Amino acid sequence: MSEQRVTIDLVDGVADVRLARPDKMNAIDPAMFTGICDAIDRLGTMAGVRAVVLSGEGRAFCAGLDMASMATGGSGIDLDHRPWGDANIVQQVAWGWRTLAVPVIAAVHGLAFGGGFQILSGADIRIAAPGTRLSIMEMKWGIVPDMAGFALWRTTVADDVLRELTYTAREFSAEEAVAMRFVTRIADDPHAEAMALARAIAARNPLAIRAAKRLANLAADADAPAILKAESDEQRRLMRSPNQVEAVMANMQKRAPVFAD
């Protein structure tokens, strides 16, 4: 993993993941693309991860593409190379959070522009600080969002709202983002709020949490019969499993459960 771009700190099942280029407001250069993808791959195989909090160090979550760096070093990216199945490297930095097996909570502050806005959109839950500035900014540079944004936004925001923001590239506030459903809620300290939520999730049956995320992801594309069958299949695997029995016993005995990953 590119430690100079992304850091991971795992404590009690919660992975605190931070974009770590604060001098550039975590703007995305080729090394950041690689660092984020490496971090997602590492989280996918790391033992004991039950929830992820994604944030940015310094004054901003992510200011978007580092245009100067990409002009000199990023033009060689092969958009047809898709080592993560459906996603190429620029899409994986956002889409990978959605396909990660465990819930991801984005804690956002300062700026989330362009690619940075697409990255936060990959999270299951998005908490923003008051006054955070956001934008689907690609049209400013004469390009379109291509970091999985449209695949993610179609399940969160109204079509006409998405079109307006994409066509104009205008900035909008965290408060507007909540109303438009891009952001889940606002908190004065979004990282602390996200960590508290992640710890609450990590205290639940981790196999049931993963099953719930699979169902939530499936619901975006599948028809009702497929979803109904998936619900039954997931429940069948969970019922009477050791973790499910432990959840019941812990509730009956009024104690904290002890789950296996």
Both structure tokens of 44: 């996918």
Strand order in the sheet with 133-135: 111-113, 133-135, 172-173
Task: Determine how β-strand 172-173 pairs with β-strand 133-135.
Answer: antiparallel
Give the pLDDT score at 141.
Answer: 93
**The whole model's pTM is what?**
0.95
Give the pLDDT score at 2.
Answer: 43
**pLDDT level of residue 74 (50, 70, 90 thresholds):** low
Summary mean pLDDT of the chain: 95
State CA 8 to chain mean position distance: 14
pLDDT in tens, 195-220: 999 999 999 999 999 999 999 999 98
Task: Determine how β-strand 14-19 pairs with β-strand 6-11.
Answer: antiparallel
SS (H, E, C) 62-92: ECCECHHHHHHHCCCCCCCCCCCCCCCHHHH
Question: Which residues neighbour 249 within 8 Å (Cβ) at sequence distance 6 or greater?
Answer: 257
For residue 75, pLDDT over 60 is answered with: no
List of domains in the chain: 6-201 (3.90.226.10), 205-252 (1.10.12.10)
Give the pLDDT score at 4.
Answer: 80
Give the pLDDT score at 79.
Answer: 84
pLDDT in tens, 136-170: 999 999 999 999 999 999 999 999 999 999 999 99
pLDDT in tens, 106-115: 999 999 999 9
